[in-house]
Amino acid sequence: MKILSILAALTLATPVVAHDLGFAGLLSNNNKEDLEPLTLSVGQPIADAPLMLKSGTAYEIEIEADGTGELALEGAGFFRAIWINEIVINGIEIRPLGVDSIEFDEAGTVEIEFIAIKPGRYELRQPGSTGDGQRIEIVIQ
């Protein structure tokens, strides 16, 4: 019984020790790619080209709304094909279990740090829009 208690304690302590020593693995600053920011603005395209991602790679992207309207991005398929480490809004870090959409009621910026997981073609789209400029295609290879 004592051996099981020791093993349990070591198992629980290992991630803390590894994190404290700076072994961040995929999410360390050396292994993360910064993507071009996306901009939400009434009547303007979200991006110029599709995002090309590689499965197993860590990324960080900024999404900025300029305040010209209440704007959102939805993309349940994309958000389910990635693992989100954190979403940062005004310096507040959020570690969600899942995301369906992000909405801006006023100007602001959100940073999303994630790992691309499931290969496929996805999109983020402004809800209710039909124009190609109000969407961005995302390809995970």
pLDDT tens digits along 14-58: 444 334 434 456 556 567 999 999 999 998 999 989 999 999 999
Q: What is the pLDDT of residue 25?
A: 62
Q: Contact at 8 Å (CB) between 72 and 45?
A: no
| Domain assignment present for 81 | yes
For residue 79, the surrounding DSSP H or E stretch is helix 76-80
Report yes or no on 3 lying in a domain: no
CATH (domain of 57): 2.60.40.420
Structure token digits, residue 63:
């999404």
pLDDT digits (tens, 9 = 90+) for 107-134: 999 999 999 999 999 999 999 888 888 9
User: Which has the higher per-residue pLDDT, 106 or 28?
Assistant: 106
Domains identified in the chain, total number: 1
pLDDT of residue 4: 42
Tell me which residue of 92, 114, 112, 93 sits closest to 102, measured CA to CA: 112
Residue 21 included in any domain? no
Domain that residue 86 falls in = 28-140
CA distances from 124 to 13, 34, 44, 89, 108 (A): 39, 18, 15, 19, 18
Q: pLDDT per residue over 48-98, tens digit each? A: 899 999 999 999 999 999 999 999 999 999 999 999 999 999 999 999 998
* In-domain check, residue 53: yes
SS3 16: helix
CA distance 125 to 137: 9
Flag whether 34 is in a domain.
Answer: yes
- Please report whether residue 58 resides in a domain: yes
Asked if 118 contacts 55 with a C-beta cutoff of 8 angstroms, the reply is yes
In a domain, 19, yes or no: no
* In a domain? residue 7: no
